[in-house]
Structure 1
């Protein structure tokens, strides 16, 4: 089966054979030059939407006003955009008008030099009107033309600059950086969903610590999660947190986090101590900083933050559960076997283990609770953590018990004994039940 590049070349060949100047454009060119396999191929062409529609069987008029058509070939979609220049941007997102233009003029309207490159799809020749290749070699994110104008046209470019710097581990060119700082408030024009999607990409990048630091330093974080600024300067007890304040602790955790984390884990790492500033107290008698209940307060704050950013219910529930549970790891060695098994059967247990690992590794360095749970995993591996119950509500009804709160208490006691190994089969469980009810 032809690979994506082969199909993209075939689509381009059709356009070229029909007499249209046609190039690969933007990210796919950048990625290829960085020796990274592109995830998709955008195509820029002199062909009009009507001409594209006439050349291909499966098309979708996704943005004919902007000269953009979607072509479907062999189960793959390719966005084909006509070379253009843009009119004014009154809404901070889309141009009010477009004028179809030359490739050189088209390159000048794009966001960053490394995204303003074209490549001939058949010969591989790079067409560079904006010195994008120079900035690729220098590992720089530089706005094309006047950076302030680029950001005023589409304020999401403010976050895209951070995202590219984070994903590629590039520096942001000084004038571009200054424009980001000067125009951070433009982010207020952008929909929550678009901000959330860019933020998620930053959190899932290879360098989330860099991304969050840039968001904070530029002022963009004030329009995404302003509560993060309260972590800066929030002191912690040095005997447990020699690394410094809550913000420093969180940044170290982001840096230490496993590669390719789930979105829920990345968000939980960022927000796990978000409740500390609100719960900060100083115990004068013991001369110690305390954050009583910061896990519960933090879970409530995390839920509010993630709902504000319109994350899915599943993401919100998983991330906030991790924030809520992260302090319970300190008690695992004192738990009864049944409780340990229930603790380990939590739906996001592996993510919670990673959160606990980096929480300790970035501060006190304790690993005993982590190692204890890993040992328990091996010990419990031969059978399900939570096996099917030996007793059900029907067993209670058969013994003339009326459904009610007592049902749950009895079944929970039976399950605990089962998990502890005191009840190993159904006959034992029924005998226990009869004895329990006779008391």
Structure 2
């Protein structure tokens, strides 16, 4: 986490931009631009592949929690966030809060700073709940999904498996009958 905190904004110099009209400074894409820089540092420091992978993932996803501030924080949004930042969800949450408070200050009372901390609390609780209780066994496997939807095995089954996992994790689906209904009604074409 300490290394990620040091490295998370390494892409900012390459993405620094000043809007000519508003004079606002932005660093759009600094998260993804920072990943190869982190990779090069990991090479120089002969870091393990596991640590390299975690650092790159934290740098690449350190803004994700902030995107949750602009939408309703429902179980589906939490599930998608946690799925995106795993296996380093607690570290990603801590890094995001440290980044926000490092910019705004720990005594900042603006609503968006408070909202960031509130969302961090909710995601932290969800992450630990998920780790304590684990992921539920899928109600249907790929073959069963194909049979329920009367389709052949193929890439669309993977989409349906992920959709069903999300529906199970959010409590929308709790038994086989609901699972079959869920996958039969799911619009696979919306994923492409």
Shorter-chain TM-score category? 0.7 to 0.9
Distance 1:414 1:266, change over 3 A: same
Shift, 1:386, TM fit: 3.8
1:362 alignment partner in structure 2? 102
2:110 alignment partner in structure 1? none
Equivalent residue for 1:315, pick from 51, 54, 57: 51
Give the Cα–Cα distance (whole angstroms) in 2 for the partners of residues 432 and 275 of structure 1. 41
2:144 alignment partner in structure 1? 395
Contact residue 279 and residue 292 of structure 1 kept, 8 A:
yes
Residue by residue over 1:109-151, the C-alpha shift from the partner in whole angstroms, topping out at 9 and shown as x without a partner, is xxxxxxxxxxxxxxxxxxxxxxxxxxxxxxxxxxxxxxxxxxx
1:294 alignment partner in structure 2? 30
Extract unaligned runs of 5+ from structure 2: 106-112, 188-192
Superposition CA RMSD, Å: 2.5
Equivalent residue for 2:82, pick from 336, 344, 350: 344
Shift, 1:309, TM fit: 2.0
> Larger C-alpha radius of gyration, 1 or 2?
1
1:279 alignment partner in structure 2? 15
Give the Cα–Cα distance (whole angstroms) in 2 for the partners of residues 327 and 436 of structure 1. 29
Give the Cα–Cα distance (whole angstroms) in 1 for the partners of residues 140 and 181 of structure 2. 11
Shift, 1:357, TM fit: 2.3
Q: Between Structure 1 and Structure 2, how many residues are aligned?
A: 173
Distance 1:342 1:319, change over 3 A: same
Q: Which has the higher contact order (CA 8 A, sep 6+)?
A: 2
Extract unaligned runs of 5+ from structure 1: 1-264
Give the Cα–Cα distance (whole angstroms) in 2 for the partners of residues 279 and 373 of structure 1. 26
Structure with higher strand content:
1
Give the Cα–Cα distance (whole angstroms) in 1 for the partners of residues 90 and 182 of structure 2. 35
With the length of structure 2 as denominator, give the TM-score of the two structures.
0.77
Shift, 1:406, TM fit: 0.8
Contact residue 357 and residue 367 of structure 1 kept, 8 A:
no
Structure with higher helix content:
2
Contact residue 341 and residue 419 of structure 1 kept, 8 A:
yes
Do structure 1's residue 423 and structure 2's residue 161 form an aligned pair? no
Contact residue 360 and residue 367 of structure 1 kept, 8 A:
no
Distance 1:278 1:430, change over 3 A: same
Contact residue 42 and residue 52 of structure 2 kept, 8 A:
yes
Distance 1:379 1:358, change over 3 A: closer
Equivalent residue for 1:332, pick from 40, 43, 68: 68
Contact residue 295 and residue 326 of structure 1 kept, 8 A:
yes
Shift, 1:367, TM fit: 4.3
